[in-house]
Chain A
Amino acid sequence: MIRDITLGQYYPGNSWVHRLDARIKIIWTFVYIVSLFLIKDFWGYIAVLVTLALIIGVSRVPLKFILKGLKPIFLIIVFTFTINMFMTKGTPLFTLGFLTITREGLYNAVFMGIRLVFLIIGSSLLTLVTKPINLTDGIEKLLSPWQRAGLPAHELAMMMTIALRFIPTLLEETDKIMKAQMARGADFESGNIMNRAKSLIPLLVPLFISAFRIAQDLAMAMEARCYRGGSHRTRMNGMKLKKKDGVACFLMLAYLALIVLQRGVW
């Protein structure tokens, strides 16, 4: 049941987008997110939509798979939509009991709703087309200039690498403990929220214990393999920018220019 979470998943492939340098993709995503907040009206969204459609088309990630990522945050979208719709003052369109929907409210709700959906799709696209391990390497490389200012870039990346490695192990462990508890009559699925939360305690305690044991064993194993932080380390797969990364960079600048222009001109 825990395995159903798809957010942050990787969709294996070998498309042009998949093969781009992780650093470019991270910066692209960052620019994209900022751009969403620079957009003034629905015309701007058309530019975003076309860009997204192009990237998704080239990446060959099925649309269904991408939309599945929206499911967990569906409630949040509905919530923002409703709040915006009812809480904005302006010319009333119609009234539902004590609630009034205004023209501005409807506009805002749709505008914000679209922004949120684009935000989720865009950022989940990053993880869909980038191997997690490349993502951590990319983040390490991008953050490393700030290492001298005290930012622990290598440590952060190592933490993410280890988290990626052990999430499946811990999920397996959770499954095992759950089954063992269920065999002894534990019930994780019925009752109200309080009861369900309570039934999680006998699950979390052994899980924490095993997480600590794993951490202890792993630290020992890493030390035995001469791990001493990032300072002496080399990497087997260095990251090198290729021509297509330049092209992607150019496209990004073009996109950014377009968004900035619409903000200033229209």
Chain B
Amino acid sequence: MEHIIRIDDLVFEYKREEQLEPVRAVNQVSLEIERGSFTAIIGRNGSGKSTLAKNINALLLPSSGAVYVKGLNTADDTKLWEIRQAAGMVFQNPDNQLVSSIVEDDVAFGPENLGIEPGEIRRRVDDSLYSVNMYEERKKAPHLLSGGQKQRIAIAGVIAMRPECIILDEPTAMLDPHGRAEVMEIIQKLHREGITIILITHFMEEAAKADRVIIMDSGRVVLDGEPAQVFLHIEEIKSLNLDVPFAVDLACRLRKRGVEIPENLITTEEMVEYIACRFK
């Protein structure tokens, strides 16, 4: 399959005051992301996930190495707007990424910046609001909405730009369980519709829903593969101070007691179903 994003030996260093060494936040990462895939990136705080994400849509530029989106080098500033349109980004704090005091105007912000003609903007805004189930709230002020709703508006604002890929940087970290479920549902729906998803998260249950999991630590990729394969390295993951999904943990414990459990069970739903069938 075709790669929508290619990261070649990416190094990113944050400069500090002159006397101090720069902080190396991303260290020699090479990755390829397939078009239409759903990748989850996990790693503890400070492991370089956000920095990596910002390098993908040219909010930050590599210290060395290169990042390509649809074959366009992010360092090429004539292609900047094309890159940012193709790889949209949703951030962690739902309050700090909405621009306008009216929901539909906020969703229109991206397309307006792209210079799209007004009638087409209207259509895109309505479509996007429908697809995140927020059309009814289109005239409201963002500060009257719940965290989950605000985050869905932020997602609508990105899909109104018709991106091919959406990078979500811990979009559910500040939400309650209900809001988290709403947002995850939208993310999975967009993935089914063919949009490439890169989801940074620290909820393992969310990562288990992806079709690829990348685990980062100290700016490097330490594990990368299908969730079922990655979560087999349960000791290694725990040594990084990370959890594994509940189902994986349970399966591991059961195996230690001699109960045979297949390796591909990683979400709680799958596990419940399996146990219900087997021990009926």
- A237 with B118: CB separation less than 8 A: yes
A234 in complex: contacting residue of B118, B141, B158, CB < 8 Å = B118
The CA of A133 and the CA of B100, in the complex, are separated in Å by: 8
B99 within 8 A of A: yes
Interface positions of B from 60 to 112, Cβ below 8 Å from A: 81, 84-85, 88-89, 91, 93, 95-102, 104-105, 108-112
Q: Is A217 an interface residue (CB 8 A)?
A: yes
B222, CB-defined interface residue at 8 Å? no
Let me know if A41 is at the binding interface, CB within 8 A: no
Is the C-beta of B36 less than 8 angstroms from some C-beta in chain A? Answer: no
- Residues on B with beta carbons closer than 8 Å to the beta carbon of A133: 100-102, 105
For window 218-253 of A, CB contacts with B under 8 Å fall at 218, 220-228, 232-238
CB of A169 within 8 Å of the partner chain: yes
Interface size on B, residues (CB 8 A): 41
Task: Collect the chain A residues with CB atoms within 8 Å of residue B141's CB.
Answer: 168
CB contact between A217 and one of B97, B110, B117, B143 (< 8 Å): that residue: B97
Cβ contacts B125-156/A at 8 Å (1 or 0 each): 10000000000000001110000000000100
Task: Return the chain A residue nearest B104 by Cβ.
Answer: A236
- A260 an interface residue at 8 Å Cβ cutoff? no
Given A227-B109, A234-B115, A238-B118: A132 and B93 interface contact (C-beta under 8 Å): no
- Asked if B99 and A222 sit within 8 Å, CB to CB, the answer is yes
Chain A residues near B172: list those with CB within 8 A: none
Instruction: For the complex, give the distance between the alpha carbons of A236 and B108 in Å.
Output: 7
Bound-state CA distance A172–B143 (Å) is 9
Complex: chain B residue closest to A165, CB-CB: B101
Partner of B113, one of A132, A214, A228, A237: A228
CA distance A236 to B142 in the complex (A): 18
Contact B81 A162 (CB under 8 A): no
Chain B neighbourhood of A236, CB < 8 A: 104-105, 108, 111-112, 118, 121-122, 125
Interface membership of A31, Cβ < 8 A: no
Partner of A161, one of B101, B117, B118, B125: B101
Cα separation A168 to B161 with both chains bound (whole Å): 27
B19 to chain A, nearest CB (A): 24
State whether the Cβ of B57 lies closer than 8 Å to any Cβ in chain A: yes
B125: chain A residues at CB < 8 Å are 236
CB neighbours of A223 from chain B (8 A): 59, 84
Contact residue among B89, B108, B122, B143 (Cβ-Cβ distance under 8 Å from A224): B89
B112/A161 in contact, CB under 8 A: no
**Contacts A226-B114, A228-B81, A233-B113 hold; do A220 and B108 have CB atoms under 8 A apart?**
no
Interface contact B85-A226, CB-CB below 8 Å: yes
| Contacting pair A225 B122 (CB below 8 A) | no
Q: Is B48 close to A, CB under 8 A?
A: no
CB distance from A221 to the nearest CB of B (A): 4
Supposing A133-B102, A236-B118 touch, asked if A225 and B113 sit within 8 A by C-beta, the answer is yes
* Chain A residues positioned under 8 Å from B54 (CB to CB): 220
Contact call A169/B113, Cβ cutoff below 8 A: no
Least Cβ distance of B36 to chain A in Å? 22
Contacting B at CB under 8 A, from A200-224, are 213-214, 217-218, 220-224
Q: How far is the CA of A211 from the CA of B104 in the complex (A)?
A: 24
Indicate if A164 sits at the interface (CB-CB under 8 A). yes
Q: B142 touching A165 by the CB < 8 A rule?
A: yes
Bound-state Cα–Cα, A221 to B99, Å: 9
B93 touches A224 (CB 8 A): no
Residue in A132, A172, A226, A238 whose beta carbon sits within 8 Å of that of B161 in the complex: A226
Q: Report which of B101, B117, B142, B157 forms a contact with A132, defined as CB distance below 8 A.
A: B101
Partner of B96, one of A213, A224, A225, A237: A213
Residues of A within 8 A of B254 (CB): none
Contact partners of B240 in chain A: CB under 8 A: none
**B116 within 8 A of partner (CB):** yes
- Are B110 and A234 in contact, with the CB atoms below 8 A? no
Residue of B nearest to A215 (CB): B96
Instruction: Select which of A172, A217, A220, A225 is within 8 A of B109 by beta carbon.
Output: A225
Shortest Cβ distance from A138 into chain B, in angstroms? 14
Taking a contact as CB atoms closer than 8 A, the residue among A165, A217, A224 that contacts B88 in the complex is: A224
Q: With A165-B101, A234-B115 as given contacts, are A225 and B158 in contact (CB-CB < 8 Å)?
A: yes
Give 22 pairs: A residue, B residue, CB < 8 Å, sorted on A: A164-B101, A165-B98, A165-B99, A165-B101, A169-B95, A214-B96, A217-B97, A218-B96, A220-B59, A221-B96, A223-B59, A224-B89, A225-B88, A225-B109, A225-B110, A225-B158, A226-B84, A234-B118, A236-B111, A236-B112, A236-B125, A237-B118
The 6 closest A-B pairs by CB, nearest first: A217-B96, A221-B97, A236-B108, A168-B143, A225-B110, A226-B113
Interface residues of chain A, those whose CB is within 8 Å of chain B, are 132-133, 161-162, 164-165, 168-169, 172, 213-214, 217-218, 220-228, 232-238
Give 15 new A-B contacts, CB below 8 A, not counting A236-B112, A237-B118.
A133-B101, A164-B101, A165-B98, A213-B96, A214-B96, A220-B59, A225-B157, A226-B114, A227-B109, A232-B113, A233-B113, A234-B115, A236-B111, A236-B121, A236-B125
